[in-house]
Structure formats: structure tokens, C-alpha cells
Amino acid sequence: MDFNLDETQQELKKLAAEVLAGEEAEERLRQTGLMDVCLPEEAGGAGLGPVELAVVLREVGARAAMVPALPTLAATLLLARQAGPDRRGRRPGRLTLAVREPGRALADPPTTSATRPDGGDGWVLTGRKVSVPHPAPEVLVTADAGLFLVTSPDAAPEHTSTGEPAATIVLDGTPAERVAGPEAVPDARRVLMAAVTAQASGVLAGALELTTSYIRQRRQFGRALAEFQAVTMQIADVYIAARALDVAMWSGAWRLGEGLPADEDLALAAYHVGEALKALYTCQHLHGGLGLDVTYPLHRYFAQARHLSHLLGGADAQLDLIGALV
């Protein structure tokens, strides 16, 4: 397995880094087509897959950018993988993905029910989805009968650690268009896990770079912090956490793109997102009081790591999933 990026992926990484480094990153992401890299070519996108999704989202995380790239890329990739030819050729509007349900692990089958009233052709959904990132006019929703597209559902705002918008979506006999059957539901979970772990990988990489630079420059007792053995051991722990997350994430994304079983790799990557949050505590500690300053960049990385860990349900849920898989 070769985790080196090919030429197309390297160019994608470079473009994403350049776009995210400037102002109005969200608008520039759309203008440059980076939000459409996973959209099928017949719908005007680039038709790329999970690895390319991971490339872009890792750059988003590396800058702790508050943009809707994660739900947009995950939802369009899921459409490309699961929708029929009639849907694949239609360019969607602003999209997000609703998978999580209250009181249930991400890997649990959805309790949201899909029925056909009076035996008709249309579908209606009943249930509740939580932690829906960046609410959008169109929402891909997982239910017991498959994957559905819902337009402008009732939504209540949620608070997030980053301040980014999120919502609880209430479905009460809400009309929906069926996109794919029940086989698409596990794939929705895999795509979401790949997206979240990719962005978390970037978050930890960005925080590690910021902290490494700080301990090299910050002097105490006439020496740089990086010269103290206790500090070097702690930053080494952060590096190990970052590498562990990277390896599991790239393996999961690659296997997903190749059509190979990816559940174990993605579950392991999701577990390491929880470990990444612990590593962010170490980064804060090494910054001293500065790490708690909300105007200092590290605060954004820490908040985003908490938010991404929450989207996955926490480390304990991933250990349960890993145990069930093995």
C-alpha cells in the first residue's frame, strides 16, 4: 500500500492550501471547484473519490478553517457512490449530511423510519437527527429503508465548540426522495467517518506545527523550551498521536476508494481522533497561559478537535465498534 499522493492529489493539496490561506476561504473554495471534487463528472464535478476528499479536508483541518467543506464533500461523495444515473447527473444545491441520532452510536442502525403513505410512490420520514453540520437547503438523511434527500426540513440550532452552525433536524411525516436503498446506510457512516478523521488529522498536524514552532522560540531560564527533556518527550507524544491518526485515516480512505472492507481502519482512525483531542491538551499545556487565549490560533484547533470528536461520538464508542468488528 503506497500512501504517497499522486500528481493529481499533490496539485489538489497545493490548491487547497493556497485557497485556505487567503480571506473568504469558503467563497474561494466554491469558485475554484474544490467543493465539487467528489461530484460526478456528469453533474459538473471532478468525479474524485475518498482519498481526494481526505486531501482537501486535511488541509481544512490544518488551518482550522470554519468552512462547510466536510458536509459538502461527504454528501456529494455519498451521492456519487450510491445514487442512480438520474440523480448522479443532477447538480445538487447546498448539501449536508444527517446521520447521527440522539442516544445512539454512529454505527447503530438508524431508527428514523421511512414509509409510503397509502401505498403511494412518495416517501415520508419520521425521526430525529442531531449534530447535523452546516445546515443546508438539501439534506441527505439515513433511515431504515435507505438514503433519502430532504428539502428544507424543520431544524433547531445547536451550539458547537467552534461556533460553526449545526442543527437538530426533526422529521415528522416529512416528504423525502429516496436516493438509495438500505445498502447505502453503512456507506454513509463510512464516508462521514473518513471525512471527519481526515479533517481531524489536519487539525492535529496544524496544532503540532504551531506548538513545535513555539517551544523552539520560547525561552525559559536562558534556554529554549525545546531543549528541556520533559518538553521533548511531551511533543514526541503529540507527534506519535498524529502519525497514528494519519496512518489509520489514509488506510481507511484508500480502502474505501478501492472498494475494500474499510470498517476496521476507519474505526481505528475514529478512535485516534479521541487520542488527538488528548494531544491537543498537551499542546495547550506546552503553550502555558497563551494556550488558553481565545485570540491565539491554538484555541481554534482545540475547539475543532472537540467538535470533530463529538461528531464521531467519542473514543469509547469507537472502542465498542472496534471490539464488535474484531
Q: CATH no. for residue 140? A: 2.40.110.10
Domain boundary among 39, 57, 88: 88
Q: Which of 88, 103, 130 is the last residue of a domain?
A: 88
pTM: 0.94
* Inside any domain, residue 111: yes
Answer whether 210's CB lies under 8 Å from 298's CB.
yes
Residue where one domain finishes, among candidates 88, 110, 145: 88
What range does the domain containing 255 cover? 185-325
**Quick one: cell of 119?**
401505498
Which residue is associated with the grid cell 487520542?
Answer: 275
Question: How many CB atoms lie under 10 A from the CB of residue 229?
Answer: 7
| Cα 324 to Cα 326: distance, rounded to the nearest angstrom | 6
56: Cβ contacts below 8 Å, ≥ 6 apart: 12, 13, 16, 34, 37, 69, 73
Together in a domain, 282 and 160: no
Domain membership flag for residue 137: yes
Residue 193 and residue 312 in one domain: yes
Assess if residue 12 is contained within a domain: yes
254 and 321 inside one domain: yes
* Overall domain count for the chain: 3
141 and 166 both lie in a single domain? yes
Nearest to 189 by CA among 135, 124, 270, 128: 270
Each residue's pLDDT tens digit in the chain (326 positions)?
Answer: 667 888 999 999 999 999 998 888 889 999 999 999 999 888 888 999 999 999 999 999 999 999 999 999 999 999 999 988 777 777 777 899 999 999 888 888 999 999 998 767 789 999 999 999 999 999 999 999 999 999 989 999 999 989 999 999 999 999 999 999 999 999 999 999 999 999 999 999 999 999 999 999 988 888 999 899 999 999 999 999 999 999 999 999 999 999 999 999 999 999 999 989 899 999 999 998 887 788 889 999 999 999 999 999 887 888 888 888 88
Q: From CA 145, how far away is CA 77, in angstroms rounded?
A: 20
Q: Are residues 165 and 278 in the same domain?
A: no
* Sheet strands (E) in the chain: 95-98, 113-115, 123-133, 138-143, 146-151, 154-158, 166-180, 219-220, 223-224
Whether residues 307 and 193 fall in one domain: yes
Asked if residue 129 lies in contact with residue 87, where contact means CB atoms within 8 angstroms, the answer is no
80 plus 164 within the same structural domain: no
